Structure 1
């Protein structure tokens, strides 16, 4: 780990934590034949559908922070597994709408339970998912996510 100022190691810590989480989720979801990225897409789709919408691939890309091309690739893979259905939007032929299949709903519910258990273990040092320390961590991380990294435009 880099030494020096407290901020010097920040990037390395963020990268290591993100990698640790991705690997742990991949391992936990392997018995369900899902990857972390596939889970992210399924869970996001589930959440949007719970709100009564049928999102496009582009909308899910925006919601998840994944590249649109990657979402398209993931969607095709999940469709081949029978977990989602893809269909052209009748009002915008460029858009592809996604919906969970019955099998997809069962799969995402099971995967969500698995990931929630894993998350509880990750957050145990902070007192668990519902602790004040975890809430503060989420606020801090959200602030970092919202910070612009692109150079200012002249």
Structure 2
């Protein structure tokens, strides 16, 4: 036993990083259970949702737009979008003016699956985060501020 190791926090439960890690694992498990019947991973869901969000504002959505929306690695996004294309959830076409870019469009099948996934994930979120004394709006605001600060 090594008693010389010193921790800043008195216990793991005093560490926000430890608690966030534990909460993330449990939340991801819940979301996975919600998405499994739709044959979607959480990453696939996030990228499809990003495509849908961006498509509300823009006609030509690129892989880079999707990567930027989710603070995601471009190579990972490209690989996951290829998988979603194989599932017929989206199409990827060459950009008309930028030969390095691809234009991403959701298919009817992709939109249908995403709608079901949104209902499943939003329900899972509300179940997971619902507590009588939790101000969800304030909690979300705090998380958004921490994300912005650490980008």
Equivalenced residue count is: 144
Q: Any stretches of 5+ residues in structure 1 without a counterpart?
A: 150-154
Give the structure, 1 or 2, with the largest relative contact order (CA under 8 Å, sep 6 or more): 2
Q: CA deviation at 1:4?
A: 2.0
**Mapped partners of 2:66, 2:103: distance in 1:** 10
Q: CA deviation at 1:50?
A: 2.2
1:142-153 residue pairs with structure 2 within 5 A? Answer: 142-148=144-150
Aligned to 1:152: none
Query: Which of 89, 94, 98 is the equivalent residue of 1:88?
Result: 94
Q: TM-score, normalised by structure 2?
A: 0.87
Aligned to 1:113: 119
CA offset digits 1:100-135 (Å, max 9, x no partner): 0010010100100101111110121157xxx8x111
**Mapped partners of 1:23, 1:44: distance in 2:** 21
Larger radius of gyration: 2
Aligned to 1:48: 54
Which 4+ residue blocks in structure 1 deviate beyond 6 angstroms?
Answer: none
Query: Which of 49, 67, 72 is the equivalent residue of 1:66?
Result: 72
Change (3 A) 1:54 1:17: farther
**Mapped partners of 1:34, 1:121: distance in 2:** 20
Q: Any stretches of 5+ residues in structure 2 without a counterpart?
A: 1-7
**Mapped partners of 1:139, 1:59: distance in 2:** 24
